A and B are shown apart, each in its own frame.
Chain A
Amino acid sequence: MDTSQFIGVGLAAVFASTFGSMLGLGGGVFLVPLLTLFFGIDPKVAVGASAVCVVTNSVVGSSVHIRSGFTNLKLSMLLQVTTATGAIVGALVALRVDASVINVVLGVVLIYSALSMLRQRRLEPQAPAKEAPDPLHLRASFVDPATNRVIEYLPVRIEPGLAISGGAGVLSGMLGIGGGAIQVPLMNLLMRAPVKAAAGTSSFMVGMTAVATAAVFYAHDQIDPRVVVPAMIGIFLGAKLGSQLTRRIQTQRLVLVFVMVIAYLGVSLILKVFDVALM
């Protein structure tokens, strides 16, 4: 890897982690396609590097999200039981699957995420009734600095949430994307957590999920320090920036941009399998 590629991978990581950290996506959902499409890096090496970067992004970004009160640690632990289990299955499957299959699956996941985020933009959960049952003690609140409002919420539909979270784990294990692209819409659309709480909680969870993925790729010599080192430098810068921006910016305004970027990357990856390149 020459100096220009080193810098290029670093800049790609800044982009991936800034946007990833803002929406609790971990950044892998952006980083894997960027590394494979623009730097010609083998998808498996890209997924391995991405897993390490997702952990880094989570570690850096979560410390800010937890301080801000966006992260629901109890909810994260609950969902993580099925997510981490799914990630082991997914990572073992990924090592036996052809690279083009990984590209198609990632492409479909990206398009799904884009559509989900488009829906999410219009839906913001209402505050739960004080007397609403909370057997798992998941009720939480935070001050949204962008609007200066106290947001109270109570996650619901825990059982289906756990099941879908397991599926997110399988995909994250296969793709090294951390699973946030599915976790955020899941928590927001199904479990009725506000976008920022979903993003903060997901940001913490994706780090734990990616640990399992990173370990599997490490054991199979698929973590390349030539890619990981510049990416980690970029991730550090982007994660700090992204988590600070989450506090200040109204997330809904950014969702449209993310939808366009994610949809573009998703379509590009699927078309790449058929040797068709988008600009």
Chain B
Amino acid sequence: MQAHSPPETANESQLRGRVTRVLETGFRVAVSIMSIGLLLALVQREPLPETMGQPRELVSGLSNADPGSIIGLGIVAIILTPIVSTTAIAWTFYRQGDRRYATISGLVLLILLASIGLSLL
């Protein structure tokens, strides 16, 4: 006999759907960018770089279509995906009128952004 979970509320369903979409899209974008970088590196017979390069080097490399920088951008995209998903969670709780969890999710987002900000100082 098939077991059925207690019915999920519309809010829960909306939250789950939104977070899943963000995660899947983030991954697809990151993989697409990295694949382009890898392909370029193969075509140009360039070895992969030892480091990703800091933001300025990354931007400069991207303007020159440098394969290493494109791969670096893909890595940055995957790193940013959980931040986008946390934003989506905070926003969804806020829209659903759940102030407690909108605040908690917003706090998590702030801590994550602070950690990135601190690391780049």
Which A residues fall within an 8 A CB radius of B?
A: 1, 52, 55-56, 58-60, 62-63, 66-67, 69, 73-74, 77-78, 80-81, 84-85, 87-88, 91, 136-137, 141-143, 148-150, 152, 207-208, 210-212, 214-216, 218-226, 228-229, 232, 236
Q: When each residue 41-77 of chain B gets 1 if its CB lies under 8 Å from chain A and 0 otherwise, what string results?
A: 0000001111110100000000000001001100100
Task: Determine if A59 and B78 form an interchain contact, defined as CB atoms under 8 angstroms apart.
Answer: yes
Task: Determine if A225 and B68 form an interchain contact, defined as CB atoms under 8 angstroms apart.
Answer: yes
8 interchain pairs, CB-CB under 8 A: A59-B23, A66-B16, A77-B108, A85-B111, A208-B112, A212-B115, A215-B120, A224-B51
Given contacts A59-B82, A87-B115, A141-B6, contact A77 B52 (CB under 8 A): no
Min C-beta distance of B121 to chain A, whole Å: 8
Task: Determine if A216 and B27 form an interchain contact, defined as CB atoms under 8 angstroms apart.
Answer: no
Min C-beta distance of A82 to chain B, whole Å: 9
Q: When each residue 12-44 of chain B gets 1 if its CB lies under 8 Å from chain A and 0 otherwise, what string results?
A: 000110011001101100110010001000000
Task: Determine if B79 and A77 form an interchain contact, defined as CB atoms under 8 angstroms apart.
Answer: no
Task: Determine if A55 and B82 form an interchain contact, defined as CB atoms under 8 angstroms apart.
Answer: yes
Q: Give the residue name and chain of the A residue nearest to B117 (CB).
A: A215
In the bound complex, what is the Cα–Cα distance between A201 and B24 (angstroms)? 17
Task: Determine if A211 and B79 form an interchain contact, defined as CB atoms under 8 angstroms apart.
Answer: yes
Q: Could you say which residues of chain B place their CB within 8 Å of the CB of A150?
A: 3-6
Task: Determine if A229 and B116 form an interchain contact, defined as CB atoms under 8 angstroms apart.
Answer: no
Q: How many inter-chain contacts with C-beta < 8 Å in the A-B complex? A: 151
Given contacts A55-B78, A211-B112, contact A219 B52 (CB under 8 A): no
Task: Determine if B82 and A215 form an interchain contact, defined as CB atoms under 8 angstroms apart.
Answer: no
Interface of B is mostly: helix
Interface of A is mostly: helix
Q: Could you say which residues of chain B place their CB within 8 Å of the CB of A1?
A: 48
Given contacts A143-B4, A148-B3, contact A229 B119 (CB under 8 A): no
Given contacts A81-B107, A232-B78, contact A73 B19 (CB under 8 A): yes
Q: Could you say which residues of chain A place their CB within 8 Å of the CB of B4?
A: 143, 150
In the bound complex, what is the Cα–Cα distance between A211 and B30 (angstroms)? 15
In the bound complex, what is the Cα–Cα distance between A208 and B107 (angstroms)? 13
Task: Determine if B115 and A141 form an interchain contact, defined as CB atoms under 8 angstroms apart.
Answer: no
Min C-beta distance of B46 to chain A, whole Å: 11
Closest 3 CB pairs of A and B: A212-B115, A219-B119, A216-B119
Task: Determine if B50 and A211 form an interchain contact, defined as CB atoms under 8 angstroms apart.
Answer: no
Task: Determine if B3 and A84 form an interchain contact, defined as CB atoms under 8 angstroms apart.
Answer: no
Task: Please pick, from A55, A66, A91, A152, the residue contacting B79 in the complex, using a CB distance under 8 A.
Answer: A55
In the bound complex, what is the Cα–Cα distance between A56 and B26 (angstroms)? 10
In the bound complex, what is the Cα–Cα distance between A219 and B52 (angstroms)? 10
* B10 contacts chain A at the CB level, 8 A cutoff: no
Q: Could you say which residues of chain A place their CB within 8 Å of the CB of B104?
A: 77-78, 81
Q: Give the residue name and chain of the A residue nearest to B15 (CB).
A: A73
Task: Determine if A77 and B89 form an interchain contact, defined as CB atoms under 8 angstroms apart.
Answer: yes
Given contacts A150-B3, A221-B51, contact A88 B20 (CB under 8 A): no
Q: Could you say which residues of chain A place their CB within 8 Å of the CB of B38?
A: 229
In the bound complex, what is the Cα–Cα distance between A222 and B53 (angstroms)? 10
In the bound complex, what is the Cα–Cα distance between A221 and B119 (angstroms)? 11
Given contacts A223-B75, A229-B38, contact A58 B82 (CB under 8 A): yes
Task: Determine if B79 and A218 form an interchain contact, defined as CB atoms under 8 angstroms apart.
Answer: yes
Task: Determine if A63 and B24 form an interchain contact, defined as CB atoms under 8 angstroms apart.
Answer: yes
